[in-house]
Amino acid sequence: MELSTNTQAIAYLVSAVLFILALKGLTHPATARRGNLYGIAGMAIAIGATLAGSEVQSYGLIAIAIVAGAAIGAVVAMRIQMTAMPQLVAALHSFVGLAAVLVAIGTFINRRAAETLNPVLMGELSAGIVIGAITFTGSVVAFGKLQGLLSGKPVRFNGQHLLNAAMGVAAIGFAVHFAMTGSLVSLVAITVLALVLGTTLIIPIGGADMPVVISMLNSYSGWAAAATGFSLGNNLLIIVGALVGCSGAILSYIMCRAMNRSIFNVVFGGFGTDGGESSATGEATQQGIKSASVEDAVYWMEDAGRVIIVPGYGMAVAQAQHALKELMELLEARGVEVLFAIHPVAGRMPGHMNVLLAEADIPYDHVLEMDEINPDFPSTDVALIVGANDVVNPAAKEDPSSPIYGMPILEAGRARQVYFLKRSLRPGYSGVDNLLFYQENTSLIFGDAKDTIEGMVGALKGGRH
């Protein structure tokens, strides 16, 4: 059944409202599930309205694409581990960017054959290609860093910023020429320059900035979709693209504030470099580090008034969230208050830790953000750090020569006793040594986080130690 233009417009409006409600729902873990359902419903209506529109002439290739895409998406969704979710998000962003480039090129070919090209349309196509190509290669690089295929350290070379600026100016120049003349050579030049620029913009960004990069690329993908909407004359794509672009930009700003860094610091430099030779970090490495056993930690925790657990990427790698849920329940049964402290950039993407804890059905009121929970650390008996690193590193406050100096942290070191679950003494993703290792009240428990926490659970079930 073919929809009229007015009916399709109404369907698109309903979809847009559902997408706005989805974004609203995703702002808090308690409403995130409902937000996802709004988003799914909005996308289903949008796809249905588009397929029923008069612009669709044949369903053969569309059906093949839908079946193939749905099959791949379903398999990936069922098999993906939470530890791989950040690189999956980066990969999905790359698909959006590539789609924007292909749609722009396809639109140019079709409209040139129909002799309906005009400067405004070619300007829209230029924008779609530039934003889409940068998103595509930038997301591929981010995927490579997150997957470990590329080094997480910043990659820099002399004249890098000048090269990026020159390519940006050249891309704009070719875009103007393309809009005025419809030159195929300019179209190819725009595409190649933007693809290279996406790579050179992301490779100097260090691993510790990856959460910001993910949200930034999310914003780029939204603007690429909006540009595609202008090229196709599709109002829903424009609305949804603008929503994603704005929300991604706002999220990037919020995360930069959480790290006490500007977006320019993230784009033009990255965590991962070493501090100066006379830094406090260098002096701390000359001191000893205390280690502890599971039984030591249990002895402190079962008599505690409050225990604050700080999860990080190591928890995701070990899949330890379910074991933490059991530990929480056993401690609460003994009258211990258990809270979870979340840093805005913990993990490899925004909200990574919140999703993992929600997966383990840990109550939302037990999960507190950095600003809420930092005042509680001084009155806390035990801080249990599970695979976090940079987000609790006192170097951010005490070592002016440190690359992470000035970044707000979870002040776990102010608890009476700190137990740090680590596989080894390797520093965090930023490559910065952690001064918390050397504090008098800190002990490290070495081993896999899940195995260690399961050992704590077993010790608590077995009685006092």
State yes or no: pLDDT of 431 exceeds 70. no
Supply the mean pLDDT for the chain.
86
Kindly give, in sequence order, each residue whose CB lies less than 8 Å from that of residue 364, ignoring residues fewer than 6 positions away: 28, 29, 30, 358
Picking from 208-217, 257-266, 296-305, which range would have the lowest pLDDT averaged per residue?
257-266
Whole-angstrom distance, CA of residue 215 vs CA of residue 247: 9
CB 350 within 8 A of CB 248: no
State yes or no: pLDDT of 274 exceeds 50. no
Which contiguous run of DSSP H or E holds residue 372? helix 370-373
Question: Can you give the pLDDT at residue 210?
Answer: 74
Whole-angstrom distance, CA of residue 96 vs CA of residue 32: 23
Burial of 215 (0-12, 13-18, 19+ CB in 10 A): buried
Q: Which CATH number fits domain 280-462: 3.40.50.1220, 1.20.1090.10, 2.60.40.3500, 3.40.30.10?
A: 3.40.50.1220
Domain residue ranges in the chain: 1-79, 84-268, 280-462
Mean pLDDT of the region 336-346: 91
Which residues share a beta bridge with 339?
A: 308
Whole-angstrom distance, CA of residue 205 vs CA of residue 141: 10
Whole-angstrom distance, CA of residue 10 vs CA of residue 17: 11
Whole-angstrom distance, CA of residue 115 vs CA of residue 110: 9
Chain position carrying tokens 């308690």 = 30
Q: How many CB atoms lie within 10 A of CB 80?
A: 12
Residues tagged active-site: 390
Confidence of residue 98 (pLDDT cuts 50, 70, 90): very high
Beta-sheet strand order (sheet of 442-446): 367-369, 337-342, 306-311, 382-386, 417-422, 442-446
Single-letter amino acid code for the residue at 192 = V
Q: What is the pTM of this model?
A: 0.74
Question: Can you give the pLDDT at residue 281?
Answer: 42
CB 338 within 8 A of CB 324: no
Whole-angstrom distance, CA of residue 96 vs CA of residue 247: 16
Mean pLDDT of the region 294-312: 93
* pLDDT (tens digit per residue) in 173-228: 999 999 888 899 999 999 999 999 999 988 887 666 777 888 888 899 999 999 98
